[in-house]
Structure 1
Amino acid sequence: MRPRLQRLVDRGDAWIVDRPGRVVLAFLLVTAVFGVGLANVSTETGTESFSEDLPEQRALDAVTDRFEDPFDPDPQTTQLIQSGENVVSKPGLVRMAEAQYRLAERPDLRVVSTRSAASTVATRLDPAATTLEAQRDVLRRAPPDAVRQAVRETAAENPAFVRLLSRDFNRRSATASATVAVVEHDVPGDPAEQGETGELTRIQRTSQRVVATVGGDIRVFGAGIINDEFSTVIGDSLLVVIPAAVVLLVGFLLLAYRDLVDLLLGMVALGTTIVWTLGFMGLVGIPFSQILIAVPPLLLAVGIDFGIHAINRFREEKTTGADRETAMRRTTDQLLVAFFLVTATSVVGFAANLVSGLPPIREFGVVASVGIVFAFLVFGVFLPALKMYTDDLRERYPGVPTFSQAPLASAESTVGGVLRVGVVVGRRAPLAVVAVALVTAAGAGVYATGVDTTFTQEQFLPPEETPAYLASLPEPFRPSEYTITRDINFLEDSFEASEGDQVVVYVEGPMTRDGALESMARAGDDPPSTFVRDGRRAEEESIVTLVRFHAARDPAFAALVERNDADRNGIPDENLDRVYDALFASPVGDAAETYLTDDRRSARVLYTVQGDAVDAEITADARAVADKYRYRATATGEIVVFQAIADLIFESAILSLALALVGTGVFLVVAFAALEGRPSLGLVNLLPIVLTVTFVAATMRLVGYSLNAFTATVLAMTIGLGIDYSVHVVHRFVDELDAGSDPVTAATATVVGTGGALAGSMLTTVFGIGVLVLAVFPAIGQFGVLAATSVVYSFFSSMLVLPAALLLWSRFVGRETTAAGQVTTES
């Protein structure tokens, strides 16, 4: 190492070895500061944070704000989902009317208005029934035949009524299996804001209890319940994942440390790292989202890796006969540099996610990067100082038992013999080993190009049914009962208004100008293949279709349309203001509000799409149709928004991976040039990482995983996790060369000594991250599987391929040791 850098390391060694008590005290004070931030950590749930910057989402928000739709998740409303009977029979309608009445009678529920099929039928029976109590009483008194006839007549005249009923509604028999009612609340502030969702959740949870007193199958659904369950799933996942990780890691640490005091020191260091990281989030205002569930197990795994290296290397030095102070100086002298290289390259890998166009992935990059830096400080400085401090106490108070202080592996041990395989094979045919690895990686990379990219709401939802292994857990670890996935699936399966098979075109322009409706109608001519056809036109719902619907049933309105229809195609061309006035004043006026705003400057058009079509093709076709509009038109809807996010996920994954590889390579070249005068070792370091990335990507396709909001970070994260193994191997190899060993002896000492610690850290990391498969929603489980897989690949590539690459480097590039033990310059 260069003298100036060595002096900096020596200064750190001196603080750790000579003043351990002061170092420990300083870290405890900093922990107290971050503990304050820990109390301020908030949560953020759902998919909204992924789409907030997209133009498609802004258009969808405008549609949600300006048009009424019973299936839009308006934060001011509660939906009542009724099923389990003929919901338009007299008993079914009475039940719904009673539920509406009881909710409105509760002042704490802040009910402003309600809308339902029951209310519509009641006013059909008696137009004077304007209150919920009167509507309920009208339905109670009406004969069943009269109710049935009112349902038929209302369905024939009012499309908005039909939209409240399930798609199996039969006009002739007046039957339907489900209906939705909408209850609007006056919630203070903006319920979409984090601070107001608690009030909306209280209202909707209370509404559940009120509705349950009515009888029948009426469920409460809304943004408050969605937010509550999204938040609960984070807590439930952490409540399962963290204890499982701790139990597994304690078990592995017992095997690795084989000493109770060292185990406790490692656990204290792990806890300190977690407190610092979560406290940092609270202090800077980063909310805890679903994707950040991966961070605590990640830090636990990386921290344990650092801890095992620190304790194991200290024990190795002790076996040489060195006293405690000398052994710790040698340990920190080497590991501070190795930990710095690992930390810096890990930060490059995680920070590469900052180029993502999706805010939650950027936040993941920030939190993971900061957490790794904290792990470096805690395990590189705090843990060694704490070890020195406690060992001093053990000497003063010899009653504390000391168990095994032996390192994990030695050249004579079985583990050491297994770890030497890479050196044995690499010594005989190093070029063949590297060539086979590169050819295999190239094939894996080609195969990996078939990985899909997806983004769906289901990836964030709790399960519709809790897995049996989670449901069997005792309290408080058993997950809560979730309803939103069941209700969302029910709405999508049962109602025509499901966003799952529709796209939206949001039109902005003066809709009263002559020809505005003609332009809207022409956009649906000769639709693309992913759109459902109605003859030569796309199947759609819009103000145009409502004009035609009402004209077919109202002769006066039909005459108005005909007088202003120049080409006699049933679409008015002139005097559109008068046409709209008549339409909004008619029985279908409520339906008109779902397609045209009151100021007549914005319109919404719904197109039905093929249920089996690919989302990417649907999105491209929707944008092409929007381009045909006369005014500014934006294709949006759940399919379009989620596809836009999926496109960003793919772009972010590729860009962050490229930046991580390039950034890591540049840093390692510069670092090894500055530290050792051997820049070419930086490139050798990259070999296991390149192999690991390609194998992980190929594994994704092999097991059927897609690039999604969670797994998109894995490829760049593979560099952050995997570089640990190659850096430790290369740095130890250089140390052995500098100590006078020949390349083969240096490689053997590296894979036996450092390899033993790497094997232990690999196992703890795999199981520490692998416990994410226990998370309540499966996307995080996929993340855990892939992260654990990347660690396995990194370990084996560092143990089996990297020794051969280092021997090649020594033969053709590196410094060779002379017989006298002196080192020549790099050739």
Structure 2
Amino acid sequence: MIGSTSALADKVPVVMLSIALVLGGLGVWGLTQLSTEFSFTDFLPEDSPQLDTFDVLVDEFGGGLGETTNVLVEGDVATAEVHNGLVEAWANLSTTDMVLTFGQFAAAESPVSVIAQMLTPPEQGGLAFDPAFAQQAASLGLNQDLTVAPGTDVEALWDAAAAANPDLMARVVARGDGGAYEFVNVAVSTQGGEAGASELADGLEAAFAPVSGVDGVTAVATNENIISKGVVDALQDSQVGSIAISLIAAMTLLVVNFFFEVRRPFLGVITIGPVVLVVLWVFGLMALTGISFNPVTAMIAAIAIGIGVPYTIHITHRYEEDRARFESEAEAMKSTLTHTGGALAGSAFTTVAGFGILVTSSLKPFQQLGLVTAYAIGGALLAAIFVLPSLLVLWDRWHRRRGDETFAHAALAEMIEQDVPVAPR
């Protein structure tokens, strides 16, 4: 049955290629519409009660799991510039979107907030008031607004705070290998969730600009959702480039192979062309069926290339051999698709059946992997038995119109170890 498809390559090769290219164009459009998403909840079973609970918390309470975003400040942090920058950043946080506040203050724990607690009497809401430290802090140059004058010994101030309340200060400052303060951890209570991770990160970056603006000091915000957003951005930035590199590398190897094998390097381009279409078809089907690009489905390009290239190589090599045995390209292609095409179809069906089991998984990413793998393998088979034969037939006829040999027949006969004379072309 597969062999009968050779009639399409023989009779209407241009029509077959036109259809394939139109579908490829739709795949390009689908790629532009493809969303890139990553959520840890995807790895929970769809019928999990925990997932339902999480959805309610997010939808009704803005993400009620007590989201904390940590801003790590690194560098020579025990300076007046950094200390005053932390004071200004704390004030900025109170007007930053998706940052929780208590009264007029942002819910953020930092060296400045710890010192503020130690200076605030209990009747004013202070939870860690220490009058002795309050006197010592004033003598070390701490102003009532928590800022310090330029040149103030901030390390001595923080040491005094650590001596008065070591547990609180240990959570917000740390020394480096050299013994000096090099790290500040600002724990900010936020409610950005997954949807607002990018906006939250931008807001925190702006709030901590007075700190990161100090020479040699950095301030980086992170939480689970921001990290997930970073994964998504990395996937988005690298997906097209990685696919292009893989296809170019495969094409280069095929061009070199066919040059030395049959003196026809352009066969390498013809062989890889259908695989490019397969990748585009898969992206189009993903967009059509609402499957996002994520760390699991990101493997699809590798699967499409890894399966598609061997399929097309098998067809091209078999056509080389059959073209040496038969007088016409139609007979050669029918033999190729009857034998190699049938074998590839059997291989494709069994592989799809194996990966298709993933569709029954209760985990959404594995369901998607099963579907896109079926898309890739099915597309690779269609490209190998419909698109590539049309390309090979057109290429064969073009060479014959020029009066050229289709292949370097002496090299081909030696390759297939054939003792009978090769049919003239």
TM surpasses 0.5: yes
Per the TM alignment, residue 793 of structure 1 is displaced from its structure 2 partner at its CA by: 0.9
Q: Using a 3 Å threshold, how does the CA distance of structure 1 residues 620 and 516 change in structure 2: closer, same or farther?
A: closer
Q: Is the 8 A contact 2:89 2:208 kept in 1?
A: yes
SS at match of 2:341: helix
Amino acid at match of 2:197: D
C-alpha distance in structure 2 between counterparts of 1:664 and 1:713, whole Å:
17
Q: Is the 8 A contact 2:21 2:277 kept in 1?
A: yes
Residue 341 of structure 2 is aligned with which of 737, 755, 764? Answer: 755
1:401-449 CA-partner distances (Å, limit 9, x unpaired): xxxxxxxxxxxxxx35xx524x333333322321232132123112212
- Whether 1:448 aligns to 2:31 is yes
Per the TM alignment, residue 673 of structure 1 is displaced from its structure 2 partner at its CA by: 2.1
1:728-781 CA-partner distances (Å, limit 9, x unpaired): 222222222110231122222222332222221111010122223355644233
- Whether 1:541 aligns to 2:117 is no
1:661-708 CA-partner distances (Å, limit 9, x unpaired): 101111112222222232222222123211110011122233333333
Pairing 1:154-303 to 2, within 5 Å after superposition: none
C-alpha distance in structure 2 between counterparts of 1:796 and 1:620, whole Å:
46
Q: Using a 3 Å threshold, how does the CA distance of structure 1 residues 810 and 603 change in structure 2: closer, same or farther?
A: same
C-alpha distance in structure 2 between counterparts of 1:812 and 1:620, whole Å:
58
1:271-307 CA-partner distances (Å, limit 9, x unpaired): xxxxxxxxxxxxxxxxxxxxxxxxxxxxxxxxxxxxx
- Whether 1:436 aligns to 2:2 is no
C-alpha distance in structure 1 between counterparts of 2:142 and 2:166, whole Å:
25
C-alpha distance in structure 1 between counterparts of 2:238 and 2:31, whole Å:
17
C-alpha distance in structure 2 between counterparts of 1:492 and 1:578, whole Å:
43
* Aligned-residue CA RMSD (Å): 4.0
The equivalent residue for 1:795 is 381
Per the TM alignment, residue 791 of structure 1 is displaced from its structure 2 partner at its CA by: 0.3
C-alpha distance in structure 2 between counterparts of 1:591 and 1:702, whole Å:
53
- With structure 2 as the length reference, what TM-score do the two structures score? 0.76
Runs ≥4 residues deviating over 6 A: 485-493, 495-500
Count of residue pairs brought into register by the alignment: 388
The equivalent residue for 2:359 is 773
The equivalent residue for 1:513 is 79
- With structure 1 as the length reference, what TM-score do the two structures score? 0.41
Per the TM alignment, residue 568 of structure 1 is displaced from its structure 2 partner at its CA by: 3.6
Per the TM alignment, residue 507 of structure 1 is displaced from its structure 2 partner at its CA by: 1.6
User: Where in structure 1 are there 5+ consecutive unaligned residues?
Assistant: 1-414, 468-482
Pairing 1:256-655 to 2, within 5 Å after superposition: 415-416=1-2, 420-421=4-5, 423-458=6-41, 461=43, 463=45, 501-526=67-92, 531-532=98-99, 534=101, 539-550=107-118, 551=120, 552=124, 553=126, 554=129, 556=131, 568-571=144-147, 574=152, 576=154, 579-580=157-158, 583-584=161-162, 589-597=166-174, 600-607=181-188, 608-611=190-193, 613-626=195-208, 628-629=210-211, 630=214, 631-655=217-241
SS at match of 2:80: coil
C-alpha distance in structure 1 between counterparts of 2:63 and 2:276, whole Å:
48
C-alpha distance in structure 1 between counterparts of 2:351 and 2:280, whole Å:
20
Q: Is the 8 A contact 2:208 2:219 kept in 1?
A: yes
Per the TM alignment, residue 655 of structure 1 is displaced from its structure 2 partner at its CA by: 3.2
Residue 656 of structure 1 is aligned with which of 223, 242, 245? Answer: 242
Amino acid at match of 2:391: A
Per the TM alignment, residue 720 of structure 1 is displaced from its structure 2 partner at its CA by: 0.7
C-alpha distance in structure 1 between counterparts of 2:97 and 2:281, whole Å:
35
Amino acid at match of 1:796: L
C-alpha distance in structure 1 between counterparts of 2:163 and 2:53, whole Å:
34
The equivalent residue for 1:232 is none
Q: Is the 8 A contact 2:86 2:208 kept in 1?
A: no
C-alpha distance in structure 2 between counterparts of 1:635 and 1:730, whole Å:
53
Q: Using a 3 Å threshold, how does the CA distance of structure 1 residues 657 and 440 change in structure 2: closer, same or farther?
A: same
SS at match of 2:250: helix
C-alpha distance in structure 2 between counterparts of 1:490 and 1:581, whole Å:
45
Q: Is the 8 A contact 2:327 2:423 kept in 1?
A: no
C-alpha distance in structure 2 between counterparts of 1:509 and 1:673, whole Å:
57
C-alpha distance in structure 2 between counterparts of 1:712 and 1:760, whole Å:
26
Q: Is the 8 A contact 2:359 2:370 kept in 1?
A: yes
The equivalent residue for 1:168 is none
SS at match of 1:801: helix
Q: Using a 3 Å threshold, how does the CA distance of structure 1 residues 435 and 539 change in structure 2: closer, same or farther?
A: farther
Q: Using a 3 Å threshold, how does the CA distance of structure 1 residues 561 and 490 change in structure 2: closer, same or farther?
A: farther
Amino acid at match of 1:802: L
Amino acid at match of 2:398: F
C-alpha distance in structure 1 between counterparts of 2:161 and 2:46, whole Å:
42
Q: Is the 8 A contact 2:140 2:156 kept in 1?
A: no
Amino acid at match of 2:347: S
C-alpha distance in structure 2 between counterparts of 1:489 and 1:543, whole Å:
35
C-alpha distance in structure 1 between counterparts of 2:158 and 2:315, whole Å:
76
C-alpha distance in structure 1 between counterparts of 2:255 and 2:206, whole Å:
48
Q: Using a 3 Å threshold, how does the CA distance of structure 1 residues 533 and 465 change in structure 2: closer, same or farther?
A: closer
Amino acid at match of 1:541: E
Amino acid at match of 1:452: S
SS at match of 2:187: strand
Q: Is the 8 A contact 1:500 1:639 kept in 2?
A: no
Q: Is the 8 A contact 2:31 2:287 kept in 1?
A: yes
Amino acid at match of 2:111: I
Q: Is the 8 A contact 1:500 1:638 kept in 2?
A: no
Q: Is the 8 A contact 1:448 1:697 kept in 2?
A: yes
Q: Is the 8 A contact 2:92 2:207 kept in 1?
A: no
User: Where in structure 2 are there 5+ consecutive unaligned residues?
Assistant: 408-420
Amino acid at match of 2:28: G
C-alpha distance in structure 2 between counterparts of 1:640 and 1:499, whole Å:
15
Per the TM alignment, residue 487 of structure 1 is displaced from its structure 2 partner at its CA by: 11
Amino acid at match of 1:732: R
Amino acid at match of 1:544: V
Q: Is the 8 A contact 1:430 1:805 kept in 2?
A: yes
The equivalent residue for 2:410 is none
% identity of equivalent residues: 26
SS at match of 1:763: helix
Q: Using a 3 Å threshold, how does the CA distance of structure 1 residues 515 and 725 change in structure 2: closer, same or farther?
A: closer
SS at match of 1:746: helix
Amino acid at match of 2:117: F
SS at match of 2:219: strand
Q: Is the 8 A contact 1:503 1:622 kept in 2?
A: no
Q: Is the 8 A contact 1:689 1:723 kept in 2?
A: yes
Q: Is the 8 A contact 1:492 1:500 kept in 2?
A: no
Pairing 1:33-48 to 2, within 5 Å after superposition: none
Q: Using a 3 Å threshold, how does the CA distance of structure 1 residues 760 and 613 change in structure 2: closer, same or farther?
A: closer
C-alpha distance in structure 2 between counterparts of 1:490 and 1:445, whole Å:
37
Higher relative contact order (CA closer than 8 Å, sequence separation 6+) = 2
SS at match of 2:34: coil
Q: Is the 8 A contact 1:453 1:646 kept in 2?
A: yes
Q: Using a 3 Å threshold, how does the CA distance of structure 1 residues 428 and 539 change in structure 2: closer, same or farther?
A: farther
C-alpha distance in structure 1 between counterparts of 2:287 and 2:41, whole Å:
20
Q: Is the 8 A contact 1:426 1:807 kept in 2?
A: yes
Q: Using a 3 Å threshold, how does the CA distance of structure 1 residues 509 and 663 change in structure 2: closer, same or farther?
A: closer
1:539-566 CA-partner distances (Å, limit 9, x unpaired): 5332222322342433725565566666
The equivalent residue for 1:695 is 281
C-alpha distance in structure 1 between counterparts of 2:199 and 2:313, whole Å:
44
